[in-house]
Structure 1
Amino acid sequence: MQTNEIHRGRLIDHIQLVVRDLPASQRFYQAVFDALEVPMGGTADDYFWADELFVSTADSVAALGQLTGRHHLAFQARDQAMVDAFHKAALANGGKDNGAPGFRDYHPGYYGAFVLDPDGNNIEAVFHGAAQRSAPSVKVTF
C-alpha cells in the first residue's frame, strides 16, 4: 500500500462563467465581492476576474463562443453578518433571491444565503461557524 498526502484547502484552480451581459454581471459580482471583501483582480472589455473566478463574454478568446450552463458557486464568508451583506448587495445589483440568509441543516453552524446572478447561476455565501473554520491536511492510504 502506498500512502499519499493530500492537501485540503484550495481544491479549485479556477472557474470560468461565460455570460450574456458582461456589464450586468460585472455590476452584480463587484457588489458581491465588495460585500465579501474580495478585491477585483482585473478587467478588460471582454472579461473580469477575482481570485479563482473568471467571467467573460461569449466572444472572448477564452470562451470559445459558448455560454456556460447554470452553476452553483459558494463563496466563503467570515461571519453571519458578511453572509447578510452579500445577500443584500446581490439583490440590490441584479440578483434574485434564491434563499434568504439563515441556518441550513447541512451541518451544525451552516449559515448561508442564495441568489441567482443575472445569468441564472445559483450563487451562495456561507459561513460554517467556528467549529468548521479549518480543514487540515489528511493522509490517505491507497
Structure 2
Amino acid sequence: MRPLLSHVDLRVRDRAAAAEFYDAFLNLLGAVKSVGEEFTSYSIPDTETGADDPDADWFGFCEDPAMTPGSGRVCFRAPTRGTIDAIATILPAIGARNIEMPHEAYGAGYYACFFEDPDGNKLELVVIG
C-alpha cells in the first residue's frame, strides 16, 4: 500500500528550539533525525535493514524568523505524473489558489504541483522517480 503523505515541511522561528521540542517525542516513535545546513528532518528507517529509504515519508523544518502559523506545507504522494496532471486541471474549479503547475521541482525525478487550499494552507502533490 502506498502511503498518502509524502512529507510535512514546516517553518519555525528557532530551529534549535524546535529540534529540542520534536526530539523529545519523535525519538520515542523511532524517528531518526537528520540535520542539514538549513533543514532538520525526521524519518523512520527501513525496519528490516535499518537503512534510510529515499521514498519514505518524512517530517522536517527550517528556520524562518518571520514565520506565521500555517507557513509550512503538507505533501501528498501521487501514484503517477498523470494523476498529478489530472488533479492540477481541476484545482482552479475547486477553489485552489496560487497554483504552481506540475513540473520537475527539485531536480530530475521529483515531479510536483504546489497550491493552496481555500484557507491558504500550502499543499503539494508529488511523484518521485
Shorter-chain TM range is 0.3 to 0.5
TM-score normalised per structure 1: 0.41
Question: With CA pairs under 8 Å and 6+ residues apart, which has the higher RCO, 1 or 2?
Answer: 1
The structure having more radius of gyration, on CA atoms, is: 1
TM-score normalised per structure 2: 0.45
